Amino acid sequence: MTPPMGCRLIGRWRIIEADLWERDYLDLVGPAMLVINDDGHGEVAFGAMQAGLDLEYGRSIVSFTWAGFDEMDEVNGTGAAELRDDGTLEIEFAYHLGDEAILKAKPETFSAAC
C-alpha cells in the first residue's frame, strides 16, 4: 500500500523511551529505531529484537504488523504509531500473546562531518 499524499511519518525515528523497558535495554544492541518507508514496509529494532514491518498509512498515523527475531527466537505482533502535537511519535507495540508497550520516538537527526 502506498502512503497518502502528505503522510508525515515517512522516515527514520529514534526510539527514546518505553513504559516497559529502561533506556539501556532499548539501546542494547544498537540505537533503538523505527523506520517507516513509503513502499508499505519498514523496520523496528530495540533491545535484542529486530523486525520488519508491513504498513498501512494515514496522514498522521500508521498501523502495522511485524515479524522478526528477539534473542534468536521468532516473534511477531501488531502496532501503530501516531504523530503527536510535539512532533514525537507514540508507538503502541504488541507481541503476539505477550507484552504490550508504549514507545516514544523522535525524528532522527544527522550531523554532517566538517
Mean pLDDT, all residues of the chain: 92
pTM of the full structure: 0.89
| DSSP code at position 84 | -
Amino acid at 111: S
Residue 46: inside a domain, yes or no?
yes
The whole domain housing 81 covers 11-107
How many domains does one find in the chain?
1
Instruction: State residue 47's pLDDT score.
Output: 96
Instruction: State residue 6's pLDDT score.
Output: 75
Confidence of residue 12 (pLDDT cuts 50, 70, 90): very high
Average pLDDT over residues 83-94: 96
Residue 6: inside a domain, yes or no?
no
Q: Are 15 and 46 within 8 A, CB to CB?
A: yes
Residue 36: inside a domain, yes or no?
yes
Percent of the chain with pLDDT over 90: 81
Residue 5: inside a domain, yes or no?
no
| DSSP code at position 2 | P
- Report whether pLDDT(110) > 80: no
Q: What is the CATH number of the domain that holds 53?
A: 2.40.128
pLDDT tens by residue, 37-74: 999 999 999 999 999 999 999 889 999 999 999 999 99
